[in-house]
Structure 1
Amino acid sequence: MIAKLKTFAQHLKAELLALSYAARDPRTPWYARALALLVLAYALSPIDLIPDFIPVLGQLDDLLLVPAGLWLALRLIPPEVMVPARHEAAQHPQRLAKSAWGLALMLLIYLLFLGLARAWWRSRG
């Protein structure tokens, strides 16, 4: 079981690296590129949408959101872009660094959520 999880995690990292190469390819449609960048920003962000210290939910967002976003982004990118991107990722395996853009995105989402919650609270009374 643990060996399968390690294999899955390695595959996920390789696919995220390939996604980063595919997002830079000019043949990638703008909507696929936008989703790919959002997935990469979230995956590489030093903070999560749901903090890891919250039992169960904190780990579920990493186990569900990243693979689901990756799956969707990979479906939107044409195969003629993904094949060379996967090849490039296999030829130059590297660790993707934490992302300042990912951090900014997550902080923006938190601020948006807080603004919406405040507006809702004010509208109630």
Structure 2
Amino acid sequence: MQLIDKLKQQARQLKSEAQVLILAYSDKRTPLSAKIIIGLTVGYLLSPIDLIPDFIPVIGYLDDLLIVPLLITLSIKLIPSVVLTEARQSIKDNPKKIKKNNWIFAAIIISIWLALFYTAYRHFSYLWK
């Protein structure tokens, strides 16, 4: 149980880096590859849909314990250190809140999920006939 608590704490610390990622995304010095990963990371963090729903026992929290920290860590490694340092300092000097109720963003994420489900259905529909 102590390992799970430790992993949850580390995940919370990495999630606090989301604001830093948002600032780094808007910086012109951030490379395109980093911006793509940051977009996926922040999109997944703010998405109302989890890859693995939390109501599934044990594995429901895998995305919170593994996927999210992995995406955040990868994003941070792709950001130039100067940009990362400046973004962290900016957050420290002027803390901002990530808006959780961004319905436009949620609609985009839901649309992407629906498109993926539709594509999978079309691709595998022959199995049900």
Q: TM-score, normalised by structure 1?
A: 0.81
Partner residue in 2 for 1:62: 64
Moved more, 52-61 or 106-115: 106-115
Matched, 1:122 2:110: no
Residues matched between the structures, number: 125
- Spell out, residue by residue over 1:59-102, the C-alpha distance to the aligned partner (whole angstroms, 9 max, x if none): 11111111000011111111011010111111222321224425
Does structure 1 conserve the Cα–Cα contact (< 8 Å) formed by 2:30 and 2:79?
yes
Structure 2: which 5+ residue stretches go unaligned?
none
Which structure 1 segments of 5+ residues have no match? none
| Larger RCO (CA within 8 A; separation ≥ 6) | 1
Q: Quote the RMSD (CA, aligned, Å).
A: 2.6
Distance 1:52 1:3, change over 3 A: closer
Moved >4 Å (runs of 4+)? 1-7
Residues 29 and 12 from structure 1, CA distance in 2 versus in 1: closer, same or farther, beyond 3 angstroms? same
State the shift of 1:5 in Å. 6.2
What is the TM-score with the length of structure 2 in the denominator? 0.79
Q: 1:105 to 1:71 in 2, by over 3 A?
A: same
Q: What pairs up with 1:4-23 in 2 under 5 angstroms?
A: 8-23=10-25
Taking every aligned residue pair, what percent have the same amino acid on both sides?
40
Which residue in the other structure is 1:72 paired with? 74
**Worse-matched range after superposition: 23-32 or 110-119:** 110-119
1:111 corresponds to which of 115, 124, 127: 115
Q: Cα distance 1:55–1:106, how it changes in 2: closer, same or farther (>3 A)?
A: farther
